[in-house]
Amino acid sequence: MKKILIEDEYKAFVTEIKAKVYQSQHQALRQVNRELIGLYWEIGRSIVERQEKHGWGKSIVVNLAKDLQNEFPGVNGFSVQNLWYMRKFYKRYEGERIQQSVGEIGWGHNIVIMEKCKNLEESQFYMEMTKKYGWTRAVLIHQIEGRSYQQYLKGQTNFDKTLPEKYRNQAKLAVKDEYSLEFLELTEKHNEKELELAIMMNMRHFLSEMGGDFAFIGNQFKLEVGGENFYVDILLYHRRLKALVALELKTGAFKPEYTGKMNFYLTVLNEKIKTEDEAASIGIIICKDKDRTIVEYALKDNVHPIGVASYRVMSVLPHAYKEYLPSPEVITGSVSNIMDVLAK
């Protein structure tokens, strides 16, 4: 018995030391990354300053790349293209408060954000999200191409009132304002059964469109209550939130009574299906169309976390969306609030 206890203690000791080594390696990598980003910033600044001072043209970058590669053979990062990225990097963020954020993510991530983001607010949003949730470059690209920033600003949920603060931002990212289901190849005239069947036949693509952190549990998921059976259209699991996510599919416009049905589902899921270590279940009602004012009132006094989204099966942007695009002032204010929460 004593030998077993000693072995258990030693195993715990080894686990503790391993954790310290991993933590030290992680901190070292972060420091190396910050130094690298700082170096690229300085190279970019030097290129800009010399061009402005001496009127040098593009040849400075070509010649500098050649000389650096000769001086540091085998060291990656001094290609002509990468030097242009350094110049662009400095020009993009010169004098901006965003400078500290750029050193917290990898150079490859910074390049993706520079190439794909249109303004500083959007850039900072993806920087902070990448840092907070450890997005890979592939996930980052998917989030940008999926317009997560715009969807985050426009999304209609009641998460601010129904979820603990530590879950709100990730939950908001999990619910888009509109889903593109063009890959289902449905016509505009389809019913709910056809929609569900098409999703089931394209589940991998559907989960990707949902955001990448979802896992499929089942469709027509049965809930037994009072001797009757009720069925959730699609039940998913969100890995980061550690929560069940109930989807209700509607091929028509949103109706307020849909939230009542979803509240019922979420109550049953929380009491009968979810485990003790999981977070409260979340509902997403996906409709063909929605009136934003009706949705706002329908969600106002709900006690369960619910989001309402629309979907499209053809590549046409509804004209009504233009009316609800936030102004630059609203965007700036929203992102500032997001950053304040993420910083906590």
Summarised one tens digit per residue, pLDDT across range 187-202 is 888 999 999 999 999 9
Residue type, 322: K
What one-character-per-residue DSSP string does 51-102 give? HHHH---THHHHHHHHHHHHHSTT-TT-SHHHHHHHHHHHHHHTT-TTHHHH
Mean pLDDT (the chain, rounded): 85
Phi/psi for 196 (5° steps) reads -65, -45
Residue 13, pLDDT score? 75
Instruction: Please state, in angstroms and rounded to a whole number, the distance separating the CA atoms of residues 81 and 65.
Output: 9
pLDDT tens digits, one per residue of 45-92: 999 998 888 888 888 889 999 989 888 887 788 899 999 999 999 998
pLDDT tens digits, one per residue of 285-318: 999 999 999 999 999 988 999 999 999 887 544 4
State how far the alpha carbon of 174 is from the alpha carbons of 105, 133, 135, 170, 291, in Å: 22, 13, 14, 6, 21
Of 185, 148, 177, 160, residue with least CA distance to 290 = 177
pLDDT tens digits, one per residue of 211-236: 768 999 999 999 999 999 999 999 99
Spatial contact of 92 and 85, defined as CB atoms under 8 Å apart: no
- Per-residue confidence band for 327, with pLDDT thresholds at 50, 70 and 90: low
Comparing 91-100, 162-171, 219-228, which segment has the lowest mean pLDDT? 91-100
Assess whether pLDDT exceeds 50 at residue 320.
no
pLDDT tens digits, one per residue of 172-186: 878 888 888 988 988
With a pLDDT cut of 70, the percent of the chain lying above it is: 88
DSSP state, residue 173: H
98 or 285: whose pLDDT is higher?
A: 285
93 or 5: whose pLDDT is higher?
A: 93
Question: How many residues in the chain?
Answer: 344
Residue 321, pLDDT score? 46
Residue 316, pLDDT score? 46
What mean pLDDT is predicted for residues 131-151?
85
Give ∠ CA 7-13-14 in degrees, rounded to 5. Answer: 90
Assess whether pLDDT exceeds 90 at residue 255.
yes
Residue 336, pLDDT score? 57
Beta bridge mates, 236: 216, 245
Assess whether pLDDT exceeds 90 at residue 142.
no
Assess whether pLDDT exceeds 60 at residue 109.
yes
- Per-residue confidence band for 343, with pLDDT thresholds at 50, 70 and 90: low
Spatial contact of 179 and 200, defined as CB atoms under 8 Å apart: no
- Global pTM reads 0.61
